[in-house]
Every structure is written in structure tokens, then in C-alpha cells.
A and B are shown apart, each in its own frame.
Chain A
């Protein structure tokens, strides 16, 4: 990885002036990822906040070739672009090496776009799929997705007299990606810029599909102050709710181990969407949340060879 000074000099591929909210984690993650590309990039985007806020016609914030066609098909769309590139490359009509990347939110990736993504992984296209995961359908106004964690308030899992927010845990999409046996899978977070940059660089250098699952908070949906985005993201890592790890050709590696594993309460209490969990009637949900996190964390440590014998 080049030093930060060098990375900062790379061209801005997602330019300032886009209309994402102040405090949005997505553009921080996307800019870091794109800065890690040492060669030209072509991007596809699923429908979502990132897409609508960066391309309000007649403006565009993208300094690179970019395509959005629909919600559930960013992977199939970039597969088409990449395949056309391969056709030209084979015929000697294009020399330049190009990276292909697709961006989707958790709704466009965990839910509606999973089939298209699974197909593209199985076919082995050379592309990096980035899920900027803000744990709900934020573009349509904070509805629950299969990435939303237990107990979270959303507008389709509202807190009422009978229901305490979302009643299910979340899908482990990173492990679903690993199960496809693609060459590179990683979880990261924009608060750890170095971790994200290193992983993005590896992803771009992968000959085949690479997947980055990046937790990127939405302060509107998570209910925290805009200035706290990176702090809240980092807390998810330190509470082991969002472990930083990578799986390279099937080999697991934990890329960051918190010195002290903080209780999930630390993360829950800084977000408005979990405030109801702290009422006496709902305390048991915090215990359940902790149990889910512990189980996943232990399993991950084992897979990464980090378990103390």
C-alpha cells in the first residue's frame, strides 16, 4: 500500500458536491476504496442512496465511467461490462488494465440483489463487489433489511406495545460469500482507513470475484450525530459486532483484534434506534444480542486460528 500522502494525491473518482447527507458513512468508504485502485476503474451502482445522491440529472459526481440500471442487478450489470472488456481484450482492441467495481447498499446486496450477485460469483467475473452496509433500506426511509440487527427500530420494524423492533438477528452475508469459494472476501469499516484501503487494494488485485462488506453507518437511520459516524462504526468493531477479517483463497485471517472486547451495550447505547432496548422489559434482548455476537465472534476466532488452546 502506498503511503497516505500518495493515496491522497490519487484522482478523486467520487467528487465533492454530491448530495449524500452530512455524516453518511457511504462516501467515506467509497472514496477510500476508489483511492486504493492503482488503475482505471469502471463502476456499476445498485439503486440506493449512493446512486440517487450522486447523479441527479444533469449532474454527476462521478469522474469515472459509471452505470446504474436497477436495484437488484448491479452484479449482473458489471458482469456485462467486464465481459465486454474481456471480448475487446482478447481481440487486442484494448490494452489498458481496468478494474470493475459494483456498489450496492445492504438492501441491494443482502436482499434483492443476492441472486444476481451469487450468479456473478459462480461465473467468476473479475470484479469487486462493495456492499456499503448501513443495516437497513435507508434510501426509502429506514426500513428493515436482512442486514438489520436484532432489536433495531426501523419504519417496518417499529417499536410498539407488542413488538420491540426487529425480532430477528441478521444474515451473515460475508460467510455466504465465503461459501461461494471466491478468491477474496473481507469485512471492513471506514473508521479503520488503513484496513479498508489494504483490503480494497487486495480486492482490486484479485483475479476473479472479490467481495468487500463494509459497515458504513447512516446517522439518520441509526439515530446518532453526524459527527459521530466513524466513532460509532469503530465501536461496532470494538464490540466484535463487526469483526475485521478477510478470507483469501479460503484462508481466514483476523485483521484486527480489539485489545478488550467491549460489551454490545456500548454500541447500542450511542444509537437512538436501540434506545428502547434499555427499558426493563427489553433488557433480555440486549442479552440475546450479546449471545449472537459472542457465538459469531467465537466461531470466527476459531476459523482464523485465534482460539486459545
Chain B
């Protein structure tokens, strides 16, 4: 019988970190992730983990110290949010380029300005091209489960890339929910012992990390990095299945809800998927054939799975909680729409921006989005590709 506890998302991830017991954690506090770091500091202070905890003076140094510790040969974790992630930007690319399997929790928060501490996805979406695997969580349970899986994914010898596990700031990070936790031994066995590749601490085989790499080799190195992240999808799927066998909670790259016979679908990330389920149930009661596609894995982008899931529907509403200023639609919209270009049948797709800076989204907003999608499909053409939910105009 699984143990059930009341955890918010931060506590769930901190507990997963305790069970993972990494060699080194280097972190800097930032709302809304702070609670996670505080809890981990308590585990360190109480001697409940063996981890060395580096209380750095900035997020830039957090990621730099993680890179040093991971290159030295350690299992390394950190956590951040918003501006903290932005301060790490430079180092995110370097961690991925060095193929260091660092795992980082990000409590999604709006990236300034103006300064705002609440949820949107502008922070991690900005980091989507940094070479990290990018897993979204719908609730505290998934934040816990994804964190444990992330270790196994990152450290797979066919992957060796850093992973960021996100949870919506405050909405997940600070809301106490029912969370089923594994036994310490189960986690330990699931992730296995860490196998270091080319560690700096191997004095007999000295290595040079981070040389200058010019026009004669850099491009080939980037090509192999492209291949590395593209090859991750089967590993993420396999680890999700194995985790399902252990916990009873199966994980896939993406998840459909009442999508089998749906004519209209909404695509979303994170906690909004829970809200969308409500909206879909309510519309289904009214006889509408609607469904949800929840994107769990955003990087690498599971193009084929998206085509398979959405090709049969007539209309798609993509919900974006971040903006790509000056772009044609939000990051999720452009990815989904691009994937569907090759679909055997192409649904009409519209984009809704919502929830910036923590603005709440309600089931009625999503119902409205799906109804709009239906109208567009019935009209046979899209007059307005981009719209807003919950915005005063």
C-alpha cells in the first residue's frame, strides 16, 4: 500500500531530492522555489541526506557549481525559477553541451518586467532551445514522479543530458495536495547507482572540459548534440513505463483525455490541464465531442505523437502561458502547428494566450476556447489565429 502524504509541489520535489540523495546540490533561493530549497536545507541540517549543499551567492554560480560538481563525477541537482533561471541562461547551454546529467526543478514564474512572482511559462520557454530535456508537471504528484524519473532519464548512457522538471509556481508549488510517495529503497533501486563518465576526479585519465571549439569542429559537435536530444524520446517513454510498473502511475510523452473520439481538442501544459479536464467533462455532458492533449515532454518535442493524437480532430485550441513577442503565436502553438503541417489530415488551429503573471484560468475560459474552435471549424476558416482568455480589453 503506497504511503500517502499531504505535500505541496515544493515539498514533493524536496522529498524526491531527499530520496535521490544526490552528491551535490547547489541552489539559490527565489520565489516560488524557495520552499523547496529550505526543505532540502533542513534535510541536510538534520543529517537525513548525504548530499553536500552549496549555498551559492547567485543562480549563475548555482549552475556553475553544478557544472563543476557534475564534471567532477557527481549526481547533481538544483532548483530555480524565473529571473533565477534567466541568470543561469549562459550556463544552461554549457551544461547541456558538456552532456552533464544535472536535474533541476523550476517553479514556473513570470519573467520580468514588471516584476511578478506568479506563474507563467515565460521562464522555461525562454530556455527551450538550451539543450535541456523539459518535462512539465500537472500537479504535485507529477512533480514528485517526474523528478525521480528525470534522474534516470538524464543519467541513461544514451542520453547524458540535463533535465528540467517544471511545476507551475504557487498553483502547484504552494498548494498542498494528496501525494503518493515511494519507499526510499524503491527510489534508490529505481534510479540505481550513479555512473560517472569522464570525471575530472579521475587523475589517471585527465580530461579537458570546455575547450575552445572553432569553425572547424563546433558545427559537428552541435550536430551530435541535436542527435543526442532527439534520441531521448524512447528513453523517456521507457522510463515512464518502468516508473508505472513501480508506482502504478504510468507516464508517457503526452497524455490524452477523452481524446479518442474528440472533434475538438485543447492542448495545454502544466496545471491548466487539470482545469481543462473540468471544462471537457462539462462540455461532454452537453454532448460536445471534446478532449485534451496534455504535453508532458516539451523538449525534445514529440512530433510524431502529436501528429498521431491531433491529426484525427477537426479543430485545436492551443493554450500558451507565455508569449514569443513578435512571433506568430506562442511557443506551444508554433510547435504544435509546425508538427501538424505533415499530418495526414490537418485540423484548424487557433492560439489562446492566458494566465500571464499568474492570472487565473477557469473551466469556463477553456470551454469558451473550445466553443470558439468549433465555430471556426464550422465557418471553415480562421479569421483570427490568436486570441486571449481571461484578459480585460
Interface residues of A (CB under 8 A from B): 40, 42, 44, 51-52, 55-60, 62-70, 72-73, 75-88, 90-91, 94, 96, 98, 115-116, 118-120, 122-123
Contact = CB atoms under 8 A, between A and B. Distances in A.
A84 B69 contact: yes
Interface stretch (B134-142, B167-175, B200-208, B382-390): B200-208
Contacts of A56: 211-212, 214
A88 B57 contact: no
Interface of B: 23-24, 26, 50-52, 54-58, 60-62, 64-74, 76, 90-91, 94, 98, 200-203, 206-214, 217
Contacts of A60: 208, 211
A98 B203 contact: yes
B26 A80 contact: yes
A76 B203 contact: no
A69 B52 contact: no
B211 A83 contact: no
B69 A42 contact: no
A84 B72 CA distance: 6
Contact of B65 (A65, A76, A118): A76
A57 B213 contact: yes
Given A70-B90, A84-B74, A119 B206 contact: no
A57 to B, nearest CB: 5
Nearest first, the 8 closest Cβ-Cβ pairs linking A and B are: A80-B68, A119-B57, A55-B211, A84-B72, A80-B65, A76-B61, A76-B64, A73-B64
A69 B94 CA distance: 7
A80 B69 CA distance: 4
Given A59-B211, A98-B201, A115-B57, 9 more contacts: A55-B208, A57-B213, A70-B90, A79-B65, A79-B68, A81-B72, A83-B54, A96-B203, A123-B56
B200 A42 contact: yes
A44 B71 CA distance: 11
B50 A87 contact: yes
B61 A119 contact: yes
B57 A116 contact: yes
A96 to B, nearest CB: 7
Contact of A57 (B24, B26, B52, B217): B217
A88 to B, nearest CB: 7
B210 A73 contact: no
A76 B91 CA distance: 12
Contacts of B68: 44, 67, 69, 76-84
Nearest to B54: A83
B207 A73 contact: no
A116 B61 CA distance: 6
A87 B64 contact: no
A218 B286 CA distance: 78
A113 B31 CA distance: 25
21 contacts: A57-B213, A57-B214, A66-B207, A67-B208, A68-B209, A73-B60, A75-B61, A76-B64, A76-B65, A79-B54, A80-B69, A81-B201, A84-B70, A84-B74, A86-B52, A88-B201, A116-B60, A116-B61, A116-B64, A119-B61, A123-B55
